[in-house]
Amino acid sequence: MRQKIVAGNWKMNTSIASGLELAQAVKTGLEGKSLNDVKLILAPPFTHLHAIGEVIKDSPLGLAAQNTASEKSGAYTGEVSAEMLASAGVGYVILGHSERRKYYHENDELLVQKLTRVLEAGLTPIFCIGEELEDREKGNHFALVKSQLKNGLFHCSPEDFAKVIIAYEPVWAIGTGLTASPEQAEEMHAFIREELSAAFGAENANACSILYGGSCKASNARELFAQPNVDGGLIGGASLQADEFIRIAESF
C-alpha cells in the first residue's frame, strides 16, 4: 500500500508566534483521532522550523522545508543547506514548487542539484510538477509533465527514486480557487504513474505517493482523494487553518 500524505505548505505566511500556535492547534486537534494511516506534514517557513520541530516532536506530524540550497555548504549568502535542515529536525523538503520555478527561475538542472543535496542529507523530497493553463489549453500538459519528470527525476537510481514523493500541482489551480476536477487529477496522476513505471518499473511506480495540489480544501478533498492514483494532497491556503487542514486529512 502507498503512504497517504497530506502536507501543508504554509508558503510565506505566519509569524513565529502564530506559526507555533497553528502547529500546536494541529497537534492538539489530532489527539485521539485515527487518521487511517495518513501522514500529516507541516511545511512552515525556514525561520520557524526548529521551534515547530520542538512542538511536534512527540506527535505523528512530519516537518518539511519549502526549499533548500543547491550547494552543500560554503560561501552562498542567504542559502540554507539540506544538512542544516536535517539538523533542525526537518524530514522532508518541497522542491520545484511552481512559485519557485516561476519567480526564482528554478530550472530542471538546478532542481536535480537540489534533489541530490536533499537525498544526501537523508531527507525526503516532495518534488513538484505541473503545467500552466497555457500548456493545458494547447494540449501540451502531458508532454510538459513528462519533461519535468524526465529532466528532474529519471536520472535517479531506483533506490533514490523510492524515497521521492511527487506532487502534481496544475499551476492554474494554485491559489486560484479553481481545482482540477477529480477526473482531470486522476487522468494526470495515472499518466505520471505510467511514466514512472516505464522509468523505474511497475513495483517502484506503484509504491510512489503522488499528491495533488491546487485549491484543495475540505469540501473537495474527498472526491480528489477517492481517485485511485491520488495519494493525498499538498495544501496551500487551506493548511493555514488547523480545523480545515485536519478535515482534509480526514477526507480519506
For residue 242, CA distances in Å to 11, 129, 149, 204 come to: 15, 26, 32, 33
How far is Cα 221 from Cα 233, in angstroms, rounded to an integer? Answer: 8
Compute the least distance from the CB of residue 130 to ligand PGA, in Å: 9
Residues across the chain:
252
DSSP code at position 208: -
| CB of 45 or CB of 236, closer to ligand PGA | 236
Question: Catalytic: 169?
Answer: yes
Question: Catalytic: 109?
Answer: no
| CB of 200 or CB of 209, closer to ligand PGA | 209
| CB of 13 or CB of 227, closer to ligand PGA | 13
| CB of 152 or CB of 237, closer to ligand PGA | 237
The site for ligand PGA (CB under 6 A) is made up of 9, 169, 174-175, 213-216, 234-238
Catalytic residue (one of 99, 106, 131, 169): 169
Catalytic residue (one of 97, 186, 189, 195): 97
How far is Cα 111 from Cα 95, in angstroms, rounded to an integer? Answer: 7
How far is Cα 158 from Cα 145, in angstroms, rounded to an integer? Answer: 20
Compute the least distance from the CB of residue 170 to ligand PGA, in Å: 10
Compute the least distance from the CB of residue 203 to ligand PGA, in Å: 28
DSSP code at position 47: G
Compute the least distance from the CB of residue 172 to ligand PGA, in Å: 10
Residue nearest to ligand PGA (CB): 236
Long-range contact pairs involving 238-241 (C-beta distance under 8 Å, separation at least 24): 239/7, 239/8, 239/9, 239/10, 239/42, 240/8, 240/10, 240/13, 240/14, 240/22
Q: List active site positions.
A: 97, 169
